[in-house]
Amino acid sequence: MLTKKDLEHLAALARLDLKKGEEEKLLRDLGSILNHFQELQSLDTNGVEPMTGGTELKNVFREDVAGQTDDTGKGPEQFPDKKDGYLKVPPVF
DSSP assignments along 17-80, one per residue: ---HHHHHHHHHHHHHHHHHHHHHHTS--TTPPP-STTS-----SPP--------TT-SGGGSS
The answer to whether residue 31 sits within a structural domain is yes
**Which residues lie below 8 Å from residue 60, measured CB to CB, with a gap of 6+?**
none
pTM, two decimal places: 0.47
pLDDT tens digits, 3-58: 999 999 999 999 999 888 889 899 999 999 999 999 999 999 898 888 777 777 77
Residue span of the structural domain in which 34 resides: 4-41
CA 1 vs CA 10, 20, 41: distances in Å: 14, 20, 16
Task: Flag whether 33 is in a domain.
Answer: yes
What's the total number of domains in the chain?
A: 1
How does pLDDT run across 42-52, given as a tens digit for each residue? Answer: 999 898 888 77
47 falls within a domain: no
Q: For residue 36, tell me if it sits in a domain.
A: yes
The answer to whether position 37 is within a domain reads yes
pLDDT attached to residue 77: 74
